[in-house]
Amino acid sequence: MLLIDRYAYINKLKKFNPMAKFIFAIAALFVAIGFNNIYINFIIFIIMVLLTTVVARIPSKNYFEIYLLPLFFLFISILTIIISRSNDDIFLYSLKIGNSFFGVKGESLVEAVILIFRVLACLSSTFFIALTTPINYLIKVFKKLKLPSVIIELIILIYRFIFVFLEESKEIIFAQEMRFGYMGIKNTYRSIGLLMKSLFIRVLLKYEDMIDSLDTKLYNGDFKIG
């Protein structure tokens, strides 16, 4: 089970009204996106962090570890914003390479700081709903909001196949490691290629098994969600 999914089922806010949590998180998300105010976004971030770690009792260490991957991509995005090129030295901080200057402008720094706080506010809002509300509760919320059935079915299938993909990849990697498949660069590349090939085939087989299972249950194109 994914760490996020596990905490969604054991946190202290699990049984709290899912519709209220969803509306609260979505409202915070829209405010974070709609306003360029650093202070508002910082307040949203702090509130969501406290609700998730203090009220819902999600361990702080694991909670902030979840931020590592999105923050990595944020860091790359920030670099493209703050670093500019010019033929003249018009930067606060610059480095001359050949006939060009690469540096950081004051307005770029301001834009970067605004973006950082906006992203943190959005991430904390998203993680709040993901870490405190199980998927079956969210499906009920979507049905109450009259979300089209096809979208709900896609959410269910995507959610299901995330676990299929992770389970299959874990088994294949374990088998490869037992055969020293990742010893050396050459073996590593070969093992990764075999992993991709095997994953594609095994996930397709799982999909076919699921189709057969649905057919035996007289599936008519509509998931019966309570």
Return the domain boundaries, the chain. 3-135, 148-216
7-33 tens-digit pLDDT: 888 899 988 999 999 999 999 999 998
pTM over 0.85: no
Average pLDDT, the chain: 83
In Å, how far are 86, 173, 178, 198 from 188, measured between CA atoms? 42, 11, 13, 15
What pLDDT, on the 0 to 100 scale, is given for residue 222? 60
What's at 197, amino acid-wise?
A: K
Q: Which of 165, 174, 170, 151 is nearest to 222 (CA)?
A: 151
Q: Give the Cβ contact number of residue 49 at 10 Å.
A: 18
- Is 136 in contact with 152 (CB distance < 8 Å)? no
Per-residue model confidence (pLDDT) at position 69: 84
Residue 24, pLDDT score = 94
